[in-house]
């Protein structure tokens, strides 16, 4: 099987992905980042009544059309405690922001534009226009008006709006579930004391973070040894839990100890492809096992993370019905890069800004795919297309932003 380009691999992964259809209702506090499954209409009118936008006095405009009018203050209207009477000629009601506009009043003059007189009177220092500083009932939305729409991603503004529309819960599409399985006789969980031939498993946590950040729920299948029976049992657990995506970490190649691919195929997986013309991340396995998509990521930590960003992130976002996330932009090279071979390179680099604010990418001198520290210190990946010529310092380059 020949090596696929990154673009073709991503297209094939996404072409077979079907966004989630199942719906659930969540409390507003749990709605951040979720995708609305239905249109939402207002259950109330907002504002529910004409009210003041400022602290001042509710008056009849005909009484204050010129500065210097003297009015008698007959009461006050505060939020939650409106004035029950009516404003008549020559009268005013002290009013506060959000308070109901009294009957008879049609304008609010702010307190700074008045002066206090004796005997409970005020004098106007300014003549505002009619209707000034009044929020009219329904100017935001009215009962029955469709305000939020299916497909909207819930953020702070939309959650505030939903609450104001008197919805304590909202219908959203269920999150896709991503089951993550680490394989390898040498792997131990963090906190363990490794033996001479053992290492601490780290990939699960970064891959899970990428999936969660892009709308998924995680099923951690733990670590299993390089054993077909153990791998099969873990896959059955993923199926039983209804996982939409199974992500395996390591063991997806075809070496003597790489049993993931053969075990999954024996379990009924249809293998689409398993090698990509990229560095790091060449041994990426993609297939379908019943309703569950399968993504086999390389075992090296950086390879695993790069593949998760390039392939798992867009897959998860499509399943979650979230809009695509564009991490691509351009920068200038701070150091020369050699000519590239037939694989697309993703070179770890940190970013700075030059005097005019343009991004400058500083590639790290060591790019080994096992070096987690370098990846954690990187701000971006410099994209080097297949067969790219040598790139001198100062050359414009495409980058994938990591943060």
- The CATH number of the domain where 207 resides is what? 3.40.980.10
Q: Same domain, yes or no, for 115 and 67?
A: yes
Q: Same domain, yes or no, for 131 and 201?
A: no
Strands (DSSP E) contained in 36-176 are 40-41, 51-52, 56-59, 70-77, 91-95, 107-110, 114-116, 121-124, 134-135, 146-148, 169-173
Confidence label for 150 from pLDDT (cuts 50, 70 and 90) = very high
Average pLDDT over every residue of 197-220: 96
Q: For residue 153, give the 3-state DSSP assignment.
A: strand
- Taking the C-alpha atoms of residue 322 and residue 305, their distance in angstroms, rounded to an integer, is 21
Report the pLDDT value the prediction gives residue 157, as an integer from 0 to 100. 98
Q: Same domain, yes or no, for 216 and 278?
A: yes
Q: Same domain, yes or no, for 158 and 184?
A: no
**pTM of the full predicted structure?**
0.90
The whole-chain average pLDDT of the chain stands at: 95
Report the pLDDT value the prediction gives residue 257, as an integer from 0 to 100. 59
Among 118, 264, 256, residue whose Cα is nearest residue 185: 256
Average pLDDT over every residue of 121-126: 96
- Single out the residue in 319, 341, 364 at which a domain terminates: 319
Q: Check pLDDT > 70 for residue 256.
A: no
Q: Same domain, yes or no, for 130 and 251?
A: no
**Residue pLDDT, tens place only, 343-353:** 999 999 999 99
Residue 385: inside a domain: yes
Report the pLDDT value the prediction gives residue 266, as an integer from 0 to 100. 94
Among 99, 122, 100, 98, residue whose Cα is nearest residue 111: 122
Q: Same domain, yes or no, for 167 and 37?
A: yes
Residue 1: inside a domain: no
**Residue pLDDT, tens place only, 67-117:** 999 999 999 999 999 999 999 999 999 999 999 999 999 999 999 999 999
Residue 259: inside a domain: yes
Residue 397: inside a domain: yes
- The CATH number of the domain where 90 resides is what? 2.170.190.11
Between 63 and 259, the higher pLDDT residue: 63
Report the pLDDT value the prediction gives residue 1, as an integer from 0 to 100. 54
Q: Same domain, yes or no, for 169 and 105?
A: no
Confidence label for 33 from pLDDT (cuts 50, 70 and 90) = very high
Residue 25: inside a domain: no
Residue 275: inside a domain: yes
Report the pLDDT value the prediction gives residue 2, as an integer from 0 to 100. 75
Q: Same domain, yes or no, for 180 and 159?
A: no
- Measured CA distances, 170 to 23, 181, 339 (Å): 10, 33, 53
Report the pLDDT value the prediction gives residue 251, as an integer from 0 to 100. 74
In degrees and rounded to multiples of 5, residue 308 shows phi and psi of -65, -40
The domain total for the chain is: 4
Report the pLDDT value the prediction gives residue 96, as an integer from 0 to 100. 98
Average pLDDT over every residue of 159-171: 98
Domain that holds residue 335: 328-401
Q: Same domain, yes or no, for 129 and 150?
A: no
Q: Check pLDDT > 80 for residue 50.
A: yes
- Taking the C-alpha atoms of residue 158 and residue 161, their distance in angstroms, rounded to an integer, is 5
Q: For residue 351, give the 3-state DSSP assignment.
A: strand
- Single out the residue in 78, 108, 135 at which a domain terminates: 135
Q: Which residue's entry shows tokens 């031939």?
A: 197
**Residue pLDDT, tens place only, 217-247:** 999 999 999 999 999 999 999 999 999 999 9
- Taking the C-alpha atoms of residue 200 and residue 206, their distance in angstroms, rounded to an integer, is 14
Report the pLDDT value the prediction gives residue 352, as an integer from 0 to 100. 97
Q: Same domain, yes or no, for 297 and 366?
A: no
Q: Same domain, yes or no, for 237 and 183?
A: yes
């Amino acid at each position: 099987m020949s090596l696929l380009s990154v673009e073709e691999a991503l297209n094939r992964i996404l072409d077979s992905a079907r966004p989630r259809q199942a719906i659930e209702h969540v409390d507003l506090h749990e709605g951040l980042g979720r995708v609305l499954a239905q249109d939402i209409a207002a259950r109330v009118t907002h504002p529910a009544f004409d009210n003041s936008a400022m602290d001042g006095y509710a008056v009849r405009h005909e009484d204050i059309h010129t500065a210097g009018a003297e009015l008698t203050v007959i009461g006050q209207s505060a939020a939650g405690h409106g004035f029950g009477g009516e404003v008549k000629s020559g009268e005013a009601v002290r009013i506060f922001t959000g308070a109901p506009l009294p009957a008879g009043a049609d304008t609010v003059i702010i307190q700074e534009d008045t002066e206090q007189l004796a005997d409970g009177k005020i004098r106007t220092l300014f003549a505002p226009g009619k209707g000034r500083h009044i929020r009219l009932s329904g100017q935001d939305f009215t009962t029955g008006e469709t305000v939020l729409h299916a497909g909207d991603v819930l953020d702070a503004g939309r959650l505030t709006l939903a609450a104001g529309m008197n919805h304590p819960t909202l219908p959203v599409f269920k999150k896709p579930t991503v089951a993550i399985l680490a394989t390898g006789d040498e792997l131990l969980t963090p906190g363990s004391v490794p033996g001479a031939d053992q290492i601490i498993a780290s990939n699960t946590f970064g891959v899970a973070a990428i999936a969660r950040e892009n709308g998924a729920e995680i099923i951690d299948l733990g670590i299993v040894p390089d054993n077909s029976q153990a791998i099969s049992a873990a896959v059955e657990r993923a199926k039983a839990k209804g996982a939409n995506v199974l992500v395996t970490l390591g063991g997806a190649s075809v070496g003597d100890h790489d049993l993931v691919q053969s075990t999954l195929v024996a379990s009924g997986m249809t293998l689409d492809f398993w090698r990509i013309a990229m560095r790091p991340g060449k041994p990426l396995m993609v297939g379908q096992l019943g309703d569950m998509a399968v993504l086999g990521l390389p075992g090296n930590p950086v390879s695993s993370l790069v593949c998760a960003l390039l392939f798992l992130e867009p897959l998860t976002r499509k399943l979650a019905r979230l809009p695509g996330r564009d991490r691509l932009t351009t920068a200038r090279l701070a150091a020369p890069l050699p000519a590239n071979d037939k694989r697309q390179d993703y070179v770890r680099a940190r970013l700075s800004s030059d005097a005019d604010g343009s991004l400058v990418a500083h590639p790290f001198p060591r790019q080994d795919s096992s070096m987690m520290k370098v990846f954690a210190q990187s701000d971006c990946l410099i994209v080097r297309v297949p067969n790219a010529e040598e790139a001198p310092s100062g050359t414009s380059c495409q980058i994938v932003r990591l943060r």
